[in-house]
Amino acid sequence: MEKALQQFYYQFHTKQHYFLCHDILEDAWKENPHFSKKDAVVSLILLTTGCYHFRRNNFQGAKTSFDRALNVIQSSHDWQMLGLNIEQYIILLKHLKQAAKTHQPFLPVHLPLQDEMLHSIQTAFTDFNFRETLIDDSYIVNHHLERDRTEVTDARNKALIERRINRES
């Protein structure tokens, strides 16, 4: 999970690729045979969902995601593994929820990383930085619309064909 968190924080801060952040942590989270929706990492997954929605002016989706992220982190017992100052993270989530609720413009989010986590990210990614301006690359901002879905579409079509064959047998 540590490497996934490093990748997550790098993509979150340096690239602002919130959709990819979600996928990185969700995949790592599901590798744990005892994963639960109450795990602290779920809060970060929901945070990225909220940031993705907020940047695209889906204020209701953002507010809902931030609210859920807040609920998860406040009831989790494994938050230490995130490498965050948890009190500051909770304050940040409350601020983001309020900003989305009042339709404020989205601004880059800086997560309150603990020094040890920050150092490990900087070691793994020498170009890591807290970007001050929003990235407006359409492929990142509108990733759910512009990503290559060929693999997913092919798998769905294959499953559909198999179901038809099974019905006809």
Which tens digits make up the pLDDT trace of 118-131?
A: 999 999 888 887 77
Q: Does domain 2-135 have CATH number 1.10.3450.10?
A: yes
Return the percentage of the chain with pLDDT > 70, whole number.
Answer: 79
Amino acid, res. 122:
Q
Domain boundaries, the chain: 2-135
Candidates 27, 79, 25; CA nearest to 52 is: 25
Q: How many CB atoms lie within 10 A of CB 96?
A: 25
- Is the distance from CB of 139 to CB of 146 less than 8 angstroms? yes
What's the rounded Cα separation, in Å, for the pair 145 and 56? Answer: 12
21-72: pLDDT as tens digits: 777 878 777 777 676 678 777 889 899 989 988 998 999 999 999 999 999 9
pLDDT band at 165 (very low <50, low <70, confident <90, very high): confident
